[in-house]
Each structure stands twice: as C-alpha cells, then as structure tokens.
Amino acid sequence: MPGALRLLVAALPLALLAAAACGGIGVGVHDQGRPVLDDGAPGEVGATARATLAAPDGQVMGEVTLTQAPSGVLISAAVTGLAPGAHGFHIHGSGACSPDFTAAGSHFAPGGEPHGFLHEDGPQAGDLPNIHVGEDGKGRADYFTAAVTLDAGPEHSLFDEDGSAFIVHADPDDYLDVASAGARIACGVVERG
Ligand SMILES: [Cu+2]
C-alpha cells in the first residue's frame, strides 16, 4: 500500500466533516479501517483526548482536542500568541515536552514512513497540514486523520507505550523537508479526557 494512501487528512469545515461521517461525500481511501483494539473489540467512538500547548517558558499557547470517530480521529486546534502566518503542526512520537521540546521525539510514524505529504513514500502518521495564524496571533484548524487512533493497543495508537505530543513549529512545513518547519515553539502532551 503506497504511503500516500495510509493517511487521510482533510481540513474541512465541520459541516463537511459531518456530511462525510454520514457517508454523504467520499473522503478518500485508507488501509487501516475501523479502529479495533487488539482483542478485537471495536474502538470507543466519541472518546476524547486533549493536549494543552505551551511555550518553552510554560505560557499556554493553545489547546488541541481530539475525538475518536469510527474510522479515525477528529483534531481541533486553537492557538494564540503566535507569529502571523503558517506554522508546522505535527504529532510527535513521545508524550513528553520536558526538559525541552526535543523530548517529544520525531514525528509519530509507527510505520516508519518518511515525512511529508509530498514525499512519494510519505506521509507519516503524525503529519498534519499547517495551522494558519492571523495578524492577531490567533489560529484555528480542524483536521481528520485515519492514520491514528485513541484506542489503546493498535500500533497507530496515540496512547502507545511512550504516548505522543503535539508540536507547533516556528515556520511552515513545506510537506517535503522535515526541517522546513524549523524550531519547536509550543508543545503539548496528548492526555485522555
Ligand atoms: Cu513537528
């Protein structure tokens, strides 16, 4: 299965997402299907998780909420106090933001894919489209991805052994070069609730 098909990410208005959830529009193809626990029990649709984004000095910079859907996870992010423009926004593979943001590790990629929506063997499960910040320093983004799950157990679970974290970067992700997004300016560990 080509990596490009492993991840479905759509930054759609919620109305469209609702329509998609009802089967009103096709939203793409993926090979991970309905999230299923290792014991075969179906995933808990509607389960939620969150991450509070903070700057290196601890100042809160935003909030991310995650909701388990039948075939993936809805992610809603709100940020504040950031420089206007596009910022790389990813799920990183370790649930830690201290002693510094390198503790979050590299991008969540249980399948070992290379980074980038534009990479022919990408993307990684933790790749997400950029979040856009206005002149007021505030930004919002909604995503849907079938590449991760909140269920414990599956390889692509955000609650794997070492957890996961969201990172906001200083610069835009060019969706090809993992270094393009630059410094890590905000971090938040994914927690249930
Ligand atoms: Cu990143």
Compute, in angstroms, the gap from residue 181 CA to the centroid of ligand 1.
7
Please tell me the distance between residue 176's alpha carbon and the centre of ligand 1 in angstroms: 12
Distance 107 CA to ligand 1 centre (A): 6
The CATH architecture to which 3-21+43-192 belongs is: Sandwich (2.60)
Q: Are 162 and 93 in contact (CB under 8 A)?
A: yes
* Full pLDDT tens readout for the chain, 193 residues: 444 444 444 443 443 343 333 333 333 334 444 444 444 444 589 999 999 999 999 999 999 999 999 999 999 999 999 999 999 999 999 999 999 999 999 999 999 999 999 999 999 999 999 999 999 999 999 999 999 999 998 999 999 999 999 999 999 999 999 999 999 999 999 999 9
Distance 105 CA to ligand 1 centre (A): 9
Q: Which tokens in the block code for residue 167?
A: 């990172």
Instruction: Please give the Cα distance from 69 to 146 (Å, whole number).
Output: 9
Overall pTM > 0.85: no
User: 149-164 pLDDT, tens per residue?
Assistant: 999 989 999 999 999 9
Q: Where are the domains of the chain?
A: 3-21+43-192
The beta-strand segments (E) located in the chain are 48-54, 60-69, 72-79, 85-92, 127-133, 139-145, 165-169, 184-189, 191-192
Say if CB 146 and CB 14 are below 8 A apart: no
Q: Are 166 and 187 in contact (CB under 8 A)?
A: yes
